Amino acid sequence: MATTLNASGSGAKSSGGLLSKITNNQVILGYLFILPSFIGFSLFFAVPAIRSVIISFHQWNLLSDAQFVGLENYQTLISDARFWDSLRITLTYVLWNIPLQTLLALGIALLMERVHNSSFLRSIFIIPWLLPNVVVGLLFLWILDPTLGIFNNFLQAIGIERQPFVGSPDQAIPTIAGVNIWRHTGYTAILLFAGLKTIPKGLYEAAQIDGANGWVQFRRITLPLLRPVLAFVLVTSIIGSFQVFDTVSIMTRSAGPAGASRVIIYYIYEQVFARRINMGVATAASVVLFLILATVTLIQIRYFRAGRSDLADYS
């Protein structure tokens, strides 16, 4: 039968099958087919991942030879107030960004499920996600401009004071978070919508017969069964959120008013470009970021038991 070459099969049998006449060539063919991707992966994923850690133990300005300094770069980070600030600012950004975006997206996903055939709506809601961050940044910089922006004109028209938005240290990070919520909510909603579609309708009907109201159904059926998709959405969007850079660099200049928008990636960028080149400190900071992201992801996977769906409990 045709199962001979089934890819998932560590236990695939090697007997029979018409493809077997090239079985002897399969090893060579296999390696030939993966060769280009393997070169790409080795040179630009595997080697640099390791090299990042190695560089972080060196002092290096790219012009002269790298010098091994042990943990000195990490000590530099620990004693640099700007680094701690950048961590605090990034965390603030994530806390503005993720809860609002996820709740909004969940609301929209539930809304789309109520509407008959929402494929046109989904196409509209995906648009912001397709745009370059740079363009999104410019667009909202103009819309939110303190003196000329249409949004401030609107606020004034309904009797609210004009706001400085990215021009003020207090509002810069929430504003940028809002802009990225605009860009990502539709995308997130579509992911959650796809998750909602997998929940068997029969469960809701049964719950209705048992007299469960809408809220109870949401708590007891929708949320638990949406958990794997929700976990995926949260893990990927939190990882993305921690790495915010493009919109920050477009909407604010040199880390914003009083350095209020110096997020972690911007801090790293400064180590390489805006100031004296310091590859060691830059890579050390990127390794720290990686460790933070790995920890956050592991905690979430534990908490959500992401791989398992509760659907199994019902069947």
Stretch 178-207 residues interacting with another protein (CB under 8 A): 182, 186-187, 190-191, 193-195
Which 106-125 positions form the footprint of another protein (CB under 8 A)? 108, 111, 114-115, 119, 121-125
Bridge partners (DSSP) listed for residue 59: 67
Asked whether 184 and 96 are in contact (CB, 8 A), the reply is: no
Rounded to whole angstroms, the Cα distance separating 203 from 201 reads 5
SS3 306: coil
Which alpha helices (DSSP H) does 19-167 contain, by range?
23-41, 47-55, 72-79, 81-114, 119-130, 133-143, 150-157
Least separation in angstroms between CB 101 and another protein:
14
Using rule CB under 8 A, residue 153 touches another protein: yes
Which 217-276 positions form the footprint of another protein (CB under 8 A)? 229, 232-233, 239, 242-243, 245-246, 249-250, 253, 265, 268-269, 272-273
Least separation in angstroms between CB 191 and another protein:
4
Least separation in angstroms between CB 188 and another protein:
10
Using rule CB under 8 A, residue 10 touches another protein: yes
Count CB neighbours of 94 within 10 A.
Answer: 20
Amino acid at 137: G
The only residue of 71, 78, 134, 223 in contact with another protein, by rule CB under 8 A = 134
Which 30-49 positions form the footprint of another protein (CB under 8 A)? 30-31, 33-34, 36-41, 43-49
When the beta carbons of 17 and 174 are compared against another protein, the nearer one is 17
Least separation in angstroms between CB 107 and another protein:
9
Contacts of 177 (CB under 8 A, 6+ apart): 93, 96, 97, 100
Q: How many residues of this chain interact with another protein, rule: CB under 8 A?
A: 104
Tokens of 243: 């790495």
Using rule CB under 8 A, residue 208 touches another protein: no
Asked whether 228 and 306 are in contact (CB, 8 A), the reply is: yes
Tokens of 120: 């046109």
Using rule CB under 8 A, residue 98 touches another protein: no
Using rule CB under 8 A, residue 277 touches another protein: no
Least separation in angstroms between CB 28 and another protein:
8
Least separation in angstroms between CB 308 and another protein:
14
Which 51-80 positions form the footprint of another protein (CB under 8 A)? 51-52, 55, 62
Q: Which of 271, 290, 292, 293 is nearest to 80 (CA)?
A: 271
Strands 58-59 and 67-68: antiparallel
Rounded to whole angstroms, the Cα distance separating 297 from 307 reads 13
End-to-end CA distance of the chain: 32
When the beta carbons of 127 and 216 are compared against another protein, the nearer one is 127
The only residue of 16, 26, 208, 301 in contact with another protein, by rule CB under 8 A = 26
Q: Which of 280, 293, 304, 301 is nearest to 60 (CA)?
A: 280
Using rule CB under 8 A, residue 287 touches another protein: yes
Using rule CB under 8 A, residue 103 touches another protein: no
When the beta carbons of 182 and 304 are compared against another protein, the nearer one is 182
